[in-house]
Structure 1
Amino acid sequence: MDKLQALEERVAHLQRMVEDLSDVVARQDATLRAMSRRVGLLMEREAERELAEGQIPLADQRPPHW
């Protein structure tokens, strides 16, 4: 096997790895976006619940050390 063929095989392997990693990153991005939306909805729901109970929403409270 000559050097050129060995290099071509290595490049092909690296290209495949980059494509696989890109797919992983794209899936993780979609998961993070979905989770961020869900956390936002849960925070809004909790703030509404706190307001309905007459409590100061946790997001608007000062930390205890202030």
Structure 2
Amino acid sequence: MHDDGIAQRLESLEIKASFMEDLLDQLNLTIYRQQELIDRLAREVIQLRQQVPEAGQGAARNPRDELPPHY
């Protein structure tokens, strides 16, 4: 009778461990995908900065250039 309780507890722990392993695999995959996205976005930012280098260097602006056309 005492062994049945231990066996049930052991089985419960094994089930929990199995679920934890699955969750860990899912989390690792999520982190991997997020890192891929971060890397891709970082490359896109670099490309955009190369396309418009003067905007990233704080080029002097004329306030008249920023007025809407109806003024």
TM bracket, shorter-chain basis: 0.7 to 0.9
Percent of residue pairs bearing the same amino acid type: 9
Equivalences for residues 25-64 of structure 1 within 5 A: 25-54=24-53, 55=56
Taking the aligned partners of 1:32 and 1:18, their CA distance within structure 2 comes to 21
Could you tell me how far 1:11 is from its partner in structure 2? Answer: 0.1
Taking the aligned partners of 2:17 and 2:40, their CA distance within structure 1 comes to 35
Mark the structure with the bigger radius of gyration.
Answer: 2
Give the TM-score of the pair, scaled to structure 2. Answer: 0.73
How many residues get paired? 55
Q: Which protein has greater RCO, CA pairs closer than 8 Å, 6+ apart?
A: 1
* RMSD of aligned residue pairs (Cα, Å): 1.0
